[in-house]
Structure 1
Amino acid sequence: MRMRPAAARDLQTAGASALRFGLALNLVVIGRLKFEDYEVENIRPLITSSPPFSRLADMLGEQRLARLIGVSEIAIGSLIAAKSFAPRASALGSLAAAGMFTSTLSFLITTPEAWQERRGEPKLSLAGQFLLKDLVLLGASLFTAAESLRAASRP
Structure 2
Amino acid sequence: MIDDLDRIMAIMETAFDPQWGEAWTRAQVAGSLSLPTTYYYFVRANEEEEPVGFALVRAAPGEEELLLIAVQPEFRGAGLAKRLLEQFTEAARERGAERIFLEMRENNPAEKLYRTFGFETIGRRPKYYSKPDGSRIDAITFGLCI
**TM value normalised by structure 1:** 0.33
The structure with the largest strand share of the pair is: 2
**TM value normalised by structure 2:** 0.34
Question: Which one scores higher on RCO, CA 8 angstroms, separation ≥ 6?
Answer: 1
